Amino acid sequence: MTALLAVIHIPESPIPVGHGLGKTLLSKLDLPGFVLFAPAAIMFLMGLEFGGREHPWNSAVVIGLLVGGIALFVIFLFWERRQGDEAMFPLALVRIREVWTSMLAGMLLIGGIVIVFAFYLPIYFQAVKGVSPLQSGLYVLPNILSSILMAVTAGVLGMLPPFFPSVACILLPTAGDDDPSCFDC
Same domain, 107 and 45: no
Please give the C-alpha separations between residue 42 and each of 37, 56, 83, 164, in angstroms, as whole numbers.
9, 19, 23, 42
pLDDT of residue 162: 61
Same domain, 120 and 91: no
Please give the C-alpha separations between residue 135 and each of 58, 97, 146, 170, in angstroms, as whole numbers.
40, 45, 18, 38
**Does the residue 38 lie in any domain?**
yes
Q: What is the pTM of this model?
A: 0.55
pLDDT of residue 97: 86
DSSP reduced 3-state for 109: helix
- 8-43 tens-digit pLDDT: 766 666 655 555 666 666 677 888 889 999 999 999
**Does the residue 101 lie in any domain?**
yes
**Does the residue 65 lie in any domain?**
yes
55 phi/psi in degrees, rounded to 5: -135, 150
User: Which residue, of 95, 127, 153, is where some domain finishes?
Assistant: 95
Give the structural domain span for 159.
96-166
Residue 66 has a CB neighbour count (10 Å cut-off) of 19
**Does the residue 179 lie in any domain?**
no
Please give the C-alpha separations between residue 50 and each of 59, 61, 106, 117, 122, in angstroms, as whole numbers.
10, 8, 27, 25, 24
Please count the structural domains in the chain: 2
**Does the residue 173 lie in any domain?**
no
Q: What is the DSSP-derived secondary structure letter of residue 62?
A: H
Whole-number Å distance between alpha carbons of 93 and 105:
16
Same domain, 77 and 37: yes
Same domain, 48 and 66: yes
- 80-135 tens-digit pLDDT: 899 888 888 888 888 888 888 888 888 888 777 777 778 888 899 999 999 999 99
Same domain, 80 and 109: no
List the alpha helices (DSSP H) in 51-87: 60-83
104 phi/psi in degrees, rounded to 5: -65, -45
